[in-house]
Amino acid sequence: MVADDYDVIVVGAGGDGPVAAWKLADAGLSVLVLEAGPFYGNEKWPKPSEEPGGAVSSSVADLSGELLDEQFTTREFEMVNKLLFGPADHERGFWFRKFPGDGAILQCAGVGGTTLHYTGCHPRAYPASIDEQGHWPIDYADLLPYYWEIETMCEVTPAPVTAKEELFFRGAAAAGWPLLHDHNVTEPGYRPQPNAIRQPDPKLHVDAGYDGDFTYPEVQGDTLALGNIAGNPHPRGAPYEEKAKRSSNVSFVPAALATGNVSIRPNAFVTDIRTETPLGDTPSVTGVRFRDTWSGRTERVDAEVVILAAGAIETPRLWLNADLPRNEWVGRGLTIHFGDNVMGLWKADDLEERLGKGTVDQHEGQDIAARFDYPGLGMLQTVGTTPGVGAILGFGASASGFTFQNDPTDAPWDTMGRLAGPELKRLLAGYPRMLQILVVSDDRPHRRNGVTVTPGLADEHGPIPVVNYEPSEGDQKRRDELATIAADILREAGASHVHRSDSPPTALHVHSTMRMGEVLDEACEAHDVDRLFVADHSALSNGVGGANPTNTGQALAARTADKILERYF
């Protein structure tokens, strides 16, 4: 059961919430984590999508690798539907959010949050994005000790090379870019991804002639089976904590539960933040109200400190729906790494020459294991996908219509736009010989972009988030420049056909809607509500330069936990 009061309540068990929960519980505080989605791989919820199950999990012994293997089937369509932001009950649809154009927001519900989808890429922010762009009230140096802590917990190491990474690296080198060895990146160049995925078993080297099973304990670490977006339970047969991908449910949740001071309550959607104003000025938080997503019943819990970690869309939504002061930046300044896809298709002979085989085989290896950094512009990364996810991320949407409506004669790509019909089928027939590059640009926080709520437009948890996003001219230019570099790298790698999606704004990385420096002070406590902290990606002051954000979000959450201890306990 959930008790009546705790030292700290954490709202959301996503990428960052469990980090704060672990640190505070490790310091001896009692912590309740309320999570809107289900808890996969936990014996208290043997059928988490079909039955309400238990009430709360407080022991690391509840975690079960076997159940995770069963529930994370690796089948892409099924898993995307399971993980996307919605209630545990499989008979009910996604929670609705409004987003402009045909873009989308990809976020997950469940313990682990969107790191259930994430591909484990764990680079740091570009130092210049924190020290030179003028958005952050703290220095990059303040984050360094926390990066070390997070990288150790998540076991961040250089990602392995399979055929698709070799192809990309050949192209990047031929295009004249240098290899970077650094954690703290200040110059453009390419490097392996710093991934929070255990390195593969050395047995899996192509020269080693391995033909056994890919299950634990025969194989330990990553099995190079792709599938991180679908949840990645590999190696199958491994205990929960020995799964290769260190999503927050695998890296931080076991550590948090092992303190004995943490209770995690899934299927609990927080709908209100409660405050009192004893001195008649700044309100002080006293607890929250949440709704059980199976029964619909609501409950109240009290705490000394409340940490919002519901992600960059739901944290501001919750604030706006609660009766809290309106700061002009609450919900505003959204950055999404305004992205794009540039895809290369090769002829078998050209691949043979470069890779010693006529296929790229993007379904082998880690999803994202090679990257190109360009501080000031953003980054590029190779993406291997299963065909369905590849179709929707790479081909199903475009801001410039269908390919047959565009004439890219003078452009660096051969085709541009959304693909459907014969063009789609022809291109996807080349699936074994193609590789997509994800363009991730360093978009900047603008006040017009963000989350609002409208009273008439509500679901069972109150008015839904209405999201606006309009890139600036600078954002567009940064993205165009990166797309051009991507096309060049693909050509240098020998691609015979290059396709650009010109994606509509699609949010895989969502941040900076409760910015430190605007809504939050330099400890990530709300300026306008005492004892209310934010520890998720909404607290980031900008998009960290376009680098994958989770390392920085988690580092900041770890720092915030230390500040909470300093201020209140």
Answer with the entry of other proteins, ligand FAD, none that 137 interacts with (C-beta below 5 to 8 A by kind).
none
The answer to whether residue 120 forms part of the interface with ligand FAD (CB under 6 A) is yes
φ/ψ (deg, to 5) at 418: -80, 145
Which residue, 28 or 158, has its beta carbon nearer to ligand FAD? Answer: 158
- Contact (Cβ atoms closer than 8 angstroms) between residue 168 and residue 489: yes
Minimum CB separation from other proteins for residue 71, in Å?
7
Q: Is residue 441 involved in binding ligand FAD (CB under 6 A)? A: no
Q: Answer whether 396's CB lies under 8 Å from 98's CB.
A: no
Spatial distance between the Cα atoms of 395 and 547, rounded to a whole number of angstroms: 23
Selected from 56, 67, 106, 250, the binder of ligand FAD by CB under 6 A is: 106
Nearest to 546 by CA among 398, 247, 336: 336
Would you say 174 and 493 are in contact if contact means Cβ atoms under 8 Å apart?
A: yes
Are 477 and 544 in contact by the 8 Å Cβ rule? The answer is no
Give the separation between CA 251 and CA 240, rounded to whole angstroms.
10
d(CA 326, CA 328): 6
Contacts with other proteins, 246-285, as mask; x by CB under 8 A: ----------------------------------------
Residues 6+ apart with CB under 8 A from 543: 129, 335, 336, 337, 442, 443, 444, 445, 509, 511, 512, 549
Rg of the chain over all Cα atoms, to the nearest angstrom: 23
- Closest distance of CB 9 from other proteins, Å: 23
DSSP 392: I
Closer CB to ligand FAD, residue 173 or residue 320? 320
- Rounded CA-CA distance 496/537 in Å is 39
Residue 281: CB minimum distance to ligand FAD, A: 27
> Quick check: 36 binds ligand FAD (CB under 6 A)?
yes
Name the binder of 241 from ligand FAD, other proteins, none, CB < 5-8 A by kind: none
> Does 217 help bind other proteins (rule: CB under 8 A)?
no
Residue 226 found at the interface with ligand FAD (CB under 6 A): no
**Contact window for other proteins (CB under 8 A) among 53-61, 387-395, 516-524, 525-533:** 387-395
Query: Using CB under 6 A as the criterion, what x/- string covers residues 366-385 for binding ligand FAD?
Result: --x-----------------
As measured in angstroms, the least distance from the Cβ of 418 to other proteins is 7
What part of residues 497-516 is at the interface with ligand FAD (CB under 6 A)?
Answer: 508-509
509 contact, one of other proteins, ligand FAD, none, CB 5-8 Å limit per kind: ligand FAD
| Residues ≥6 apart with Cβ < 8 Å to 299 | 2, 268, 289, 290, 292
Strand partners, 516: 520
Q: Which does 555 bind (CB under 5 to 8 A by kind): ligand FAD, other proteins, none?
A: none
C-beta of residue 85 within 8 angstroms of C-beta of residue 95: yes
Side-chain half-sphere of 471: how many Cα atoms within 13 Å?
25
Q: How far apart are CA 268 and CA 297, in angstroms?
A: 10
**Residue 404's binding partner out of other proteins, ligand FAD, none, with CB under 5 to 8 Å set by partner kind:** other proteins
Query: What is the enclosing helix (H) or strand (E) of 164?
Result: helix 163-174
Q: Which does 173 bind (CB under 5 to 8 A by kind): other proteins, ligand FAD, none?
A: other proteins
Nearer to other proteins among residue 18 and residue 266 (C-beta): 266
Contact stretch for ligand FAD (CB under 6 A) within 251-259, 308-316, 369-377, 404-412: 308-316
Binding site for ligand FAD (CB under 6 A): 11-17, 34-37, 106-107, 109-110, 113-115, 117-121, 229, 269-270, 309-312, 314, 318, 368, 508-509, 536-537, 548-550, 553
